[in-house]
Amino acid sequence: MRHATPDVLDSIEPLLAQIRALPLREPKRGAFYIKREAFLHFHEDPAGLFADLKVNGKWQRFSADTAAQRKALVEAARKAIGA
């Protein structure tokens, strides 16, 4: 599973915009941090698009192909940072 390519990130720009509204840093497009700690990034593989989100200090993988999955990801990110 590789990190999401620029073309894939282009295709999820509305999702990235929602994540950018959260109090996070984005030092590299599609990779989000809380201060200096990695918090959220995206992967792609033949099975689809996935996001790795750090919840309570542990990485959790979320599918991010559908609108419902993306909404759940944003809600999980909000909850993880207490926003």
CA distances from 32 to 21, 46, 47 (A): 11, 23, 23
Structure confidence at residue 1 (pLDDT): 73
Could you tell me the two tokens for 65?
């192909």
Q: Counting beta carbons within 10 angstroms of the beta carbon of residue 32, is it exposed (0 to 12), middle (13 to 18) or buried (19 or more)?
A: buried
Is the pLDDT at 63 greater than 90? The verdict is yes
* Mean per-residue pLDDT of the chain: 94
pTM over 0.85: yes
Q: How many domains does one find in the chain?
A: 1
Given a contact cutoff of 8 angstroms between Cβ atoms, the answer to whether 49 and 72 are in contact is: no
Q: Is residue 59 very low, low, confident or very high in pLDDT (cuts 50, 70, 90)? A: very high
Structure confidence at residue 40 (pLDDT): 97
- Domain extent at residue 31: 2-81
Spatial separation of the C-alpha atoms in residues 20 and 44, rounded to whole Å: 20
